Amino acid sequence: MKPMPTFFTPIGAHDASQQSTQNNKALSAVECVKKLEDLYDKTQTVAGASFLQICVLLKFFELRTTGSSRRQAATIASSGMPAKLNRHARTIQFWAHHFETSGALPVFLRGKHQKTESLMHDEDFMAKCAEWLHAQLPNERSPQRFQRHLNMEVIPLLTGALEANLSESTARRWMQHIGYRYGLWKKNVYTDGHEREDVTAYRERFCKLFLSLAEDEVLLWRRHGDGGFAYSDQ
């Protein structure tokens, strides 16, 4: 089973690895713009999907050079794209981070990656899913919300697609694989075995002892000099 990071292979991976070895420092926004402009000049040899990434990232890093935050830059770059080619802002931030650290475009190898169903057997992927589920409140942890999280955030980051179409039944099956079971969530607290014979016998002994001690308590009223009364236990 291949680990999740192998889903993305940068263009010129060999050159990128040499560059990252020589210089571990992330590229600045200005350097990214210059590098992307160089790639733009070579678009005749770049696939359509990569051309789209170049255009989006150029806009992203241009906005970064003018002081925009990463979220603002990604949102503006996303909103400027045609609806058919639109990508989520978080996907664009992922592309930008990959380009900053490797100097190359992230490319999803369609047709050569693990199918969606087989992701259930990827330990790293399922660990991230389990982490998200654990962070949810019990009354908000449902297959429907998990499905939306996968379709709108997790899988698009892997594929670069606008939105995935993972079914609710698959999301439920993945939750079961992680260890969650369907059940009605209640705030009430229940104690199992409260009618067991040993529990009943212990409760009876405790109540008898408590009542016997209460009978030994005597309430005495004492008069104070100012006319008030107080009591003490003996």
Q: What is the pLDDT of residue 15?
A: 52
Mean pLDDT by 10 residues, the chain (234 residues): 45 49 74 81 62 87 94 89 69 85 71 53 76 87 90 70 76 87 60 69 86 71 58 51
Contact 22, 90 (CB under 8 A): no
Contact 152, 163 (CB under 8 A): yes
Counting every residue, how long is the chain?
A: 234
Q: What is the pLDDT of residue 202?
A: 87
d(CA 23, CA 108): 25
- At 191, list the tokens: 């104690």
d(CA 147, CA 68): 32
Find all residues with CB under 8 Å of 216, minimum gap 6, and list them: none
Q: What is the pLDDT of residue 124?
A: 67
Q: What is the pLDDT of residue 1?
A: 46
CB atoms under 10 Å from CB of 142, counted, come to 19
Contact 105, 11 (CB under 8 A): yes
- At 137, list the tokens: 């409140």
Find all residues with CB under 8 Å of 119, minimum gap 6, and list them: 125, 126
d(CA 226, CA 74): 80
Taking the CA atoms of the chain, what radius of gyration do you get in angstroms? Answer: 32
Q: What is the pLDDT of residue 145?
A: 92
Of 144, 93, 100, 150, nearest to 125 (Cα)?
150
Query: Can you give the pTM of this predicted structure?
Result: 0.41
